[in-house]
Every structure is written in C-alpha cells, then in structure tokens.
Amino acid sequence: MSSITLIGTGNMARTIGTRAVAGGNTVEVMGRDQSKAEALATALGGGATTGKWGAVPAGDIVIAALLYDGVVPVVTEYADALAGKVIVDISNPFNATFDGLAHSEETSIAQEVAKVAPAGASVVKAFNTIFRDVLEKGRPNVFIAGDSAQAKAGVAAFIESLGLRPLDVGGLKMAHWLEGVGVVTVGLAANGVGHWDFALGVDELAG
Ligand SMILES: NC(=O)c1ccc[n+]([C@@H]2O[C@H](COP(=O)([O-])OP(=O)(O)OC[C@H]3O[C@@H](n4cnc5c(N)ncnc54)[C@H](OP(=O)(O)O)[C@@H]3O)[C@@H](O)[C@H]2O)c1
C-alpha cells in the first residue's frame, strides 16, 4: 500500500482520497485553508490526517489536486519540502473555450513542475484524462507519463490499489499529449458522446 498526500481539498482530492482510503492507503490532506483540509480528512475517514500547508508531506506520493494555474506556484512555494517526493500532476490546462491548451504547444504543466521541483523529486502526470464522476464510480484506465521508472512504478502500484488499470504512455514529455487527451475527452463529451459518463481506454485485441 502507498502513503499519499493530497495537496488541495476540492473535488478531485475528495474523489482520489475516497478511493485511496478504500484501497487501504495512508492518506494525508493539505490545503491552503486548514479548516477545509481538516473537514476533508474527517470526511475521508480511514485514519486520514492533515498536514500544515508548506510543511514536508507525510506521503511519499504527493498529488497536486489543484487548478492548473496553481500547480507550479504551489510546488515552487513548497520548494525543498518536496525533496525526494513523487509529485503527481493531475491538472488539465484548458483554454477559455475548452478546445485547446492554455500554454504553448511545447510543454505541459507537469513539465513546468519538473523545472521547479527540488532535487530528488520526480514528476508523474496521471488522472487528468478521467472525469471526476467516472473516477468515483467506474474502473477507468489511468494514463501516466514520467521520466522516472521508479516513480511511475510507485504511482502505478497506487493506481492498482484503487482497483484501476495504470497505463504508461512514456516519458514526461508525453504529459503534453495527455493534456491534449483531456481536451479530446471534453470534445467528445460535448459532441460525439454527448455526455460526461465515459472514459477513454485501451482495448487490446487478443491473438
Ligand atoms: N473535476 C474533474 O472532473 C477533473 C478531472 C481530471 C482532472 N482534473 C483536474 O484536477 C484539478 C483539480 O480539479 P477539481 O475539480 O478538484 O477542482 P476544485 O474542486 O475547484 O478544487 C481545486 C483545489 O485547488 C485549490 N487551489 C486552487 N488554486 C490554488 C492555489 N493557487 N494555491 C493553493 N490552492 C489552490 C483550491 O483551494 P481553495 O478551496 O482554497 O480555493 C481547491 O482545494 C484541476 O487541475 C483539474 O483540471 C479535474
């Protein structure tokens, strides 16, 4: 089982935290509003604890469950408190019309996080291609990307503990394309699929 810290107290923190507790993982919650962190930890149960904002997280895996424009500033603020940690970026940096990315075509939030992360930290992109309701109720494939095989193995084990299937798409530069998959998913919800109750996955043909 894994030891995780959720930075953020919103919808995705609650959903990942709920599945993490159900999967027998150790969960800590940190929020810029301590009362929200305490309320979420209490709601999660399973011995979930809170940590002080900016302190060294208890978890080996630190999930930044923040709006995309807060991820790099918060990792910068935490600075050496994240040394040696596996930082998981789940964000979708949508543009204003949800049909493109908010940043240039050369990068991703996860790659920008890697630039400010302290020594020994690793960054993994994960969970961004799954709508929260699907993550709550379903068994979607979870695409992950990162440069450290060891960090990805740890995140994959955590994902498996949630009863979900991790699928490695490659190095951290693939995080850009996973963010693009997030855009595609919203496009499908608004057009061809017509609702939000689905997830993209991989079907392998036998033989
Ligand atoms: N919801 C989905 O279906 C879904 C699916 C896949 C990925 N994602 C991604 O998951 C991330 C979280 O989404 P969500 O739905 O959980 O959003 P949310 O419910 O709005 O929660 C956002 C959290 O981020 C915190 N936050 C935002 N900016 C911050 C900053 N500058 N410094 C510190 N804390 C900050 C908020 O704190 P306060 O409460 O104090 O404001 C809140 O705890 C987003 O990047 C989103 O793109 C969402």
Residue 206, pLDDT score: 83
Indicate whether 207 pLDDT > 80. no
Q: What would the mean pLDDT of 118-132 be, rounded to a whole number?
A: 98
* pLDDT, tens only, 20-40: 999 999 999 999 999 999 999
For the entire predicted model, the pTM comes to 0.98
With beta carbons less than 8 A apart as the criterion, state whether 15 and 126 touch: no
Residue 149, pLDDT score: 98
Residue 80, pLDDT score: 98
The owner of tokens 């960054």 is 123
Summary mean pLDDT of the chain: 97
Q: How far apart are CA 84 and CA 71, in angstroms?
A: 18
Does residue 31's CB lie within 6 angstroms of at least one atom of ligand 1?
yes
Instruction: Indicate which atom in ligand 1 lies nearest the CA of residue 31.
Output: 43
At residue 24, what are phi and psi to the nearest 5 degrees?
A: 85, 15
Indicate whether 126 pLDDT > 90. yes
Indicate whether 156 pLDDT > 70. yes
- Size of the chain, expressed as the number of residues it contains: 207
The alpha carbon of residue 127 and the mean position of all alpha carbons in its chain are separated, in whole angstroms, by: 5
> Which helix or strand (DSSP H or E) is residue 75 part of?
helix 68-78
* pLDDT, tens only, 34-87: 999 999 999 999 999 999 999 999 999 999 999 999 999 999 999 999 999 999
Does residue 129's CB lie within 6 angstroms of at least one atom of ligand 1?
no
Nearest CA to ligand 1 atom 29: 70
Nearest CA to ligand 1 atom 20: 10
* pLDDT, tens only, 189-200: 999 999 999 999
Q: Please, what are the domains in the chain?
A: 3-190 (3.40.50.720)
Indicate whether 104 pLDDT > 90. no
The answer for residues whose C-beta is within 8 angstroms of residue 163's C-beta and 6 or more apart is 19, 23, 139
Cα–Cα nearest to 114, from 145, 141, 142, 138 = 145
